[in-house]
A = this chain, B = another copy of it.
Amino acid sequence: MAESGGIDPVSDPVSDPASDPGVAGDDPGYRAAVIDLLGVISYGEITAFERLAEDAKLAPTMQDKMALASMAATELGKVAPLHQRVSELGGDPFEAMAPFGDAIDNFHRHTAPSDWLEGLVKAFVGDGLADDFYREIAAFLDPVTRDLVVSSMDEDGGHAVFVVDRVRSVIAADPTVAGRLALWGRRLMGEALTQAQRVAADRDSLTALLTGGVDRPGLDLAALGRMFTRLTERHADRMAQLGLDS
């Protein structure tokens, strides 16, 4: 067993991928995991584009339509740098995305908004959840990939403010919608967890990014639990921003 080699994963700085920008090219297992991660994020952004462009049709005004269409274009704009990094790592961007099509398509199929408001809440809550999760994973990436992932999360162009304003003003005018939207938020969270679970079960490489390996630090079960608690708390914060119970 490799563990008997006596390597201490935490105290060995050379084998910590987060401290070595070159490791992405040196460790085939890590490289495959990063290509997987960039693939799933890319596919998620492309479907976010499609879904937001579709939801824009439900917009009650041209201003709302423009806002949602701009959110769609912003998501799509994140894809090219992610694909470029996949290519730099020797992968094919479209092959990298392929394994994640079913899980992400299922998520969207099971959470198709029935109206404009549900679409807005999904845009805010769903994308926020995905971004939080990728930020958590980013801590285990080499600096180049980490900066790329984190910077792609940060470019929301003020869209969150738009969604929060719109949803809160609708609830202010008609408080009865709050109950329905709170349920909707829980359904989004539940479906996201279901599909994330499925991806984790299918892709050992991605799971290994989080749980570490013999020569790489990772999260133990307690740390995974804390990460999960953080994701849930941030979800609750977002729901509260919208004026909704979580």
Contact = CB atoms under 8 A, between A and B. Distances in A.
A94 B65 CA distance: 11
Interface stretch (A21-29, A73-81, A162-170, A207-215): A73-81
**Majority secondary structure of chain A interface residues (helix, strand, loop or mixed):** helix
Count this chain's copies in the assembly. Answer: 2
Given A49-B53, A50-B56, A56-B50, A76 B70 contact: yes
Interface residues of A, number: 22
A201 interface: no
B73 A76 contact: yes
Top 10 nearest A-B pairs (CB, nearest first) are: A53-B53, A73-B73, A73-B76, A62-B94, A69-B76, A49-B69, A63-B94, A62-B97, A73-B77, A46-B66
Interface of A: 46, 49-50, 53-54, 56-57, 61-63, 65-66, 69-70, 72-73, 76-77, 79, 94, 97-98
Given A46-B69, A50-B53, A50-B56, 5 more contacts: A49-B69, A61-B94, A62-B97, A72-B76, A73-B76
